[in-house]
């Protein structure tokens, strides 16, 4: 039996408990109300269904998209027909290249610019430069850059944004024009037959996965040794030993790059080629006539075809010697001219932590806008020089047909929606990021000298587009091209002044930085 005091305490405790339960119930009810507000309800879904089924066009669009895919259903045949593949200015390139299942587009595009000039200068029918060679050294340099970044951020909290960026990409395939220039200026070039493609350059994901995994173990070890008091000099020695393992992994995966090679090619001989074509046609006609009579042609076996032209033989040459001797391209004589409308125009910007090698060229771009880009680009093409550029290759594009054009890929009509964000807001909100580099090889100009469409050399092989080439409408160019790397000789004085000014430094996670960091 409770005493009066105990009973009083019990009553007070019961009241407090009831109060607490009431408060908890009220909070719970409030949370339920908050979570329920804004939720998708069955009545809303029923209304959406009613709206959808009330329009006959929705059913037709659904039939087309479900069975054929969104892009195929969105193809506007009138738009495709209007986007013809004739160009008033058109450069003749060698055979199309194929990066396959790798993110080396930035490297292929740079090599396509260089080999075009070499084919023209040496009078060759074709030439492909080794993508694997630069790929090997890009991985080595990125591994060293990552480990140096670890040494640079030893006291950085692992939860910081800086650390998150440093630890994000490692030796992934992506890159930029200045990364290409860094590699060529340091390591040179070589023909593809001196260091051909391999299974792991064609499809790099597995190799990259395990190299990155080892590098992150290395990073953990370096930070642990730092906490134990190891000096920077000691840590750099440890880093050097770590890089030996990375070199071994890359050499096993790609084959060790040759230090020297033999360069052997034969130049074209246009007169002999024309003569041979005429003789071939004449022999074919005679053989056909004899075959009809059941007789053997007297000319059979009389003429043998010989490969003519000058033979160029350069034995035991190094990649740097090859580059300086046979490639007239000065990669330091280019300016990356951008259209980044979310940044102030007329400024030079530099991306912090954007290089692919220690002491290499950081990514810089002169933000001058589309008018400057197109004017200089047309002049460069007219003078017979292609151009490296970067874009967002995904919106309003048809990979199989080789089309970049908003009117030809009319998803707005298919879904009955409108996409209204301008270029600046697409960058700010992460809707559009530069993700692919290609080479511009031609342009069509109207009667007033304005561009209507562009000829694009891709690096996805001959089975996409028209033998590997894409056509890009000028409207799409303005919307989704971000950078074009141009020769200084075709730039106006204002652009050159900006290119030589002190750059404004941008953080690596700036929207435009993110756009340029992950080209693949």
Q: What is the pLDDT of residues 349-361, one digit of tens each?
A: 999 999 999 999 9
- Residue 511 pLDDT greater than 70, yes or no: yes
Tokens of 467: 């033998």
Q: Note the pLDDT of residue 475.
A: 98
Catalytic residue among 112, 200, 436, 518: 436
Query: Could you tell me how many helices (H) and strands (E) the chain has, helices first?
Result: 20, 14
Could you give the domains of the chain? 89-263+320-517 (3.90.70.10), 269-308 (no CATH)
Distance CA(405)–CA(470), nearest Å, equals 10
Task: Choose the catalytic residue: 98, 105, 114, 327.
Answer: 105
**Which residue in 144, 458, 513, 518 is the catalytic one?**
458
68 pLDDT more than 90: yes
Query: Is 385 known to be catalytic?
Result: no
Q: Over 60: is that where the pLDDT of 281 sits? A: no
Q: What confidence tens digit (pLDDT) does each residue in 390-418 have?
A: 999 999 999 999 999 999 999 999 999 99
Three-class SS state of 260: coil
Of the candidates 375, 294, 302, 363, the residue with the CA atom closest to the CA atom of residue 335 = 363
Kindly report, residue by residue over 226-262, the tens digit of the pLDDT. Answer: 999 999 999 999 999 999 999 999 999 999 999 999 9
3-state secondary structure 203-222: ECHHHHHHHHHHHHHHHHHH
pLDDT of residue 268: 93
Q: Mean pLDDT across the chain, nearest whole number?
A: 89
User: According to the model, what pLDDT value does residue 13 have?
Assistant: 52
Report strand pairing: 311-317 vs 334-338. unpaired
Note whether 115 and 328 are within 8 A (CB): no
Q: Where are the beta strands (DSSP E) in 239-359?
A: 261-266, 311-317, 334-338, 347-351
* Catalytic residue list contains 105: yes
pTM (two decimals): 0.86
> Above 60 in pLDDT, residue 2?
no
d(CA 292, CA 283): 14
Per-residue pLDDT at 513:
65
To the query of whether residue 200 is one of the catalytic residues in this protein, the response is no
Q: Which residue's structure tokens are 């992506």? A: 174
Bigger pLDDT: 364 vs 32: 364
At residue 400's C-alpha, the angle toward residues 397 and 401, to 5°, is 70
Question: Among candidates 510, 92, 458, which has minimal Cα distance to 342?
Answer: 510
Structure tokens at 348: 């030079």
How many whole angstroms separate alpha carbon 107 and alpha carbon 110?
5
Closest CA to 470 of 165, 96, 19: 96
Q: Residue 160: how many CA atoms within 13 Å on its side-chain side?
A: 9
Give the pLDDT confidence score for residue 21 in this predicted structure: 53
């Amino acid at each position: 039996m409770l005493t009066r005091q105990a009973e009083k305490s019990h009553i007070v405790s019961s009241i407090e408990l009831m109060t607490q339960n009431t408060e908890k119930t009220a909070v719970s009810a409030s949370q339920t109300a908050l979570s329920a507000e804004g939720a998708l309800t069955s009545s809303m879904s029923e209304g959406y269904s009613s709206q959808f089924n009330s329009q006959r066009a929705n059913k037709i669009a659904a039939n087309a998209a479900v069975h054929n895919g969104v892009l195929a259903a969105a193809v506007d045949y009138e738009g495709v027909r209007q986007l013809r593949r004739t160009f008033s200015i058109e450069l003749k390139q060698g055979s199309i290249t194929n990066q396959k299942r790798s993110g080396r587009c930035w490297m292929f595009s740079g090599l396509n610019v260089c080999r075009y000039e070499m084919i023209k200068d040496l009078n060759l029918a074709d030439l492909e430069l080794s993508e694997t060679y630069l790929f090997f050294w890009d991985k080595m340099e990125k591994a060293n850059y990552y480990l140096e970044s670890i040494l640079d951020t030893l006291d950085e909290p692992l939860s910081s944004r800086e650390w998150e960026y440093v630890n994000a990409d490692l030796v992934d395939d992506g890159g930029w024009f200045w990364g290409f220039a860094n590699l060529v200026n340091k390591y040179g070039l070589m023909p593809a037959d001196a260091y051909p493609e391999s299974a792991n350059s064609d499809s790099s994901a597995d190799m990259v996965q395990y190299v990155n995994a080892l590098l992150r173990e290395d990073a953990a070890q370096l930070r642990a040794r730092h906490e134990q008091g190891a000096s920077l000099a000691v840590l750099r020695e440890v880093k050097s030993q770590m890089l030996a393992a990375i070199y071994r992994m890359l050499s096993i995966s790609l084959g060790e790059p040759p230090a020297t090679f033999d360069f052997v090619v034969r130049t074209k001989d246009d007169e002999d080629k024309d003569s041979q074509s005429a003789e071939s046609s004449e022999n074919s006609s005679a053989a056909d006539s004899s075959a009809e009579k059941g007789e053997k042609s007297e000319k059979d076996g009389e003429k043998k075809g010989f490969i003519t032209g000058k033979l160029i033989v350069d034995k035991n040459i190094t990649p740097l010697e090859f580059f300086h001797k046979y490639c007239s391209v000065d990669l330091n004589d280019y300016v990356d001219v951008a259209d980044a409308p979310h940044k102030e125009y007329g400024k030079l910007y530099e991306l912090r932590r954007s290089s692919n090698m220690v002491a290499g060229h950081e990514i810089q771009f002169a933000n001058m806008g589309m008018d400057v880009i197109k004017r200089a680009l047309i002049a460069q093409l007219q003078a017979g020089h292609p151009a490296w550029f970067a874009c967002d290759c995904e919106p309003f594009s048809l990979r199989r047909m080789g089309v970049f054009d908003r009117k030809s890929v009319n998803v707005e009509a298919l879904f009955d929606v409108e996409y209204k964000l301008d270029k600046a807001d697409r960058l700010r909100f992460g809707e559009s990021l530069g993700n692919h580099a290609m080479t511009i090889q031609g342009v069509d100009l109207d009667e007033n000298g304005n561009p209507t469409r562009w000829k694009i050399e891709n690096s996805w092989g001959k089975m996409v587009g028209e033998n590997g080439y894409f056509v890009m409408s000028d409207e799409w160019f303005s919307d989704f091209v971000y950078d074009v790397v141009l020769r200084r000789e075709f730039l106006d004085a204002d652009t050159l002044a900006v290119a030589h000014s002190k750059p404004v430094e941008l953080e690596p996670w700036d929207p435009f930085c993110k756009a340029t960091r992950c080209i693949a």
